[in-house]
Amino acid sequence: MPYQELFDKQVVSKQFNSDQLLKLLLDDSIYPIAHEIIQVKKGTILLHEDEVHEYLYIIQSGLCSTTKDGHIKSFLKEEEVIGMNNILGNEASSFTIAALTNMVLLKFTKEDVMLKLMHLQEGLFFLYNDMKTMNQHMVQRDVLHVVDTKERLKMNIVYLGVLYGNEMQDELILPKNFTKKMISNFINLTPTTVYNICKQLVEEGFLLEGAQNIVVNKEEAAHELAVIKGLGVLNA
């Protein structure tokens, strides 16, 4: 592949994403390494903040949270990687990673993954792409926190719905695990503030009343949806 094409950002994002990483790690024709498929229960702590960990995981199904000092920083879903940003053998985890649902994971040792990546000329691009994706999510979060409190909550509910929920023709349905208490932690507002604003949003038709999950009325959230999708959230 020519130099300019190899180092094009769209090519890097496509060729070195987590899906391609999984294919590489499972390809026994290139420096074969061992792995196992494990099932973990909701509430399991996969990585502890500030502790050195031995393994890297790729999510086959389920959802987990990443927290720092007790504050939720992000979430990880199917096909995303756990532990890539702390892949060196003596490097402690930056976050606590906890399963929000029952999960199925592919488990590799960090040592094996690093050796396989180093075995390939372009292997370190996987590390680069993982860090770039994390930075994109951080930038997106910063953008969503510079609006007033009510709009901040609306934006973040839509953000979580687009990334992790189920988008129907007229509704955006967040996973059941995304409670108002969890969202208040994620956006650094008090639970009382979030509960009160959500009550207003139901009265205004932005959220649907009586739903077990948090459900957004897409017609009322047209502006927020346009902003979120304009940030490139689905391509991050």
How much is the pLDDT for 236? Answer: 47
Longest Cα–Cα distance of the chain, Å, equals 59
The answer as to whether 14 is a domain residue is yes
Residues 215 and 169 grouped into a single domain: yes
Residues 154 and 96 grouped into a single domain: no
The answer as to whether 137 is a domain residue is no
Residues 112 and 204 grouped into a single domain: no
| Domain around 15 | 3-131
Of the residues 101, 131, 161, which one is the last residue of a structural domain?
Answer: 131
- Cα-Cα-Cα-Cα dihedral of 162, 186, 19, 12, to 10°? 90
Residues 15 and 102 grouped into a single domain: yes
How much is the pLDDT for 12? Answer: 52
pLDDT tens string, the chain, 236 residues long: the values are: 454 455 555 555 556 666 777 788 888 888 889 999 999 999 999 999 999 999 999 999 999 999 999 999 989 999 889 988 787 777 889 899 999 999 999 999 989 988 888 887 676 666 666 666 665 666 556 555 556 899 999 999 999 999 999 999 999 999 999 999 999 999 989 999 999 999 999 999 999 987 688 999 999 999 999 988 887 665 54
Residues 220 and 119 grouped into a single domain: no
Q: How many domains is the chain built from?
A: 2
How much is the pLDDT for 133? Answer: 65
How much is the pLDDT for 127? Answer: 65
Residues 23 and 102 grouped into a single domain: yes
Of the residues 131, 155, 179, which one is the last residue of a structural domain?
Answer: 131
How much is the pLDDT for 192? Answer: 96
The answer as to whether 140 is a domain residue is no
How much is the pLDDT for 61? Answer: 96
Residues 84 and 154 grouped into a single domain: no
Residues 9 and 110 grouped into a single domain: yes
Residue among 176, 173, 149, 154 nearest 163 (CA)? 173
Helical axes 149-164 vs 124-144, angle rounded to 10°:
150
User: What's the rounded Cα separation, in Å, for the pair 141 and 44?
Assistant: 26
Regarding beta strands 215-217 and 171-173, do their DSSP bridges make them parallel or antiparallel, or are they unpaired?
antiparallel
How much is the pLDDT for 132? Answer: 64
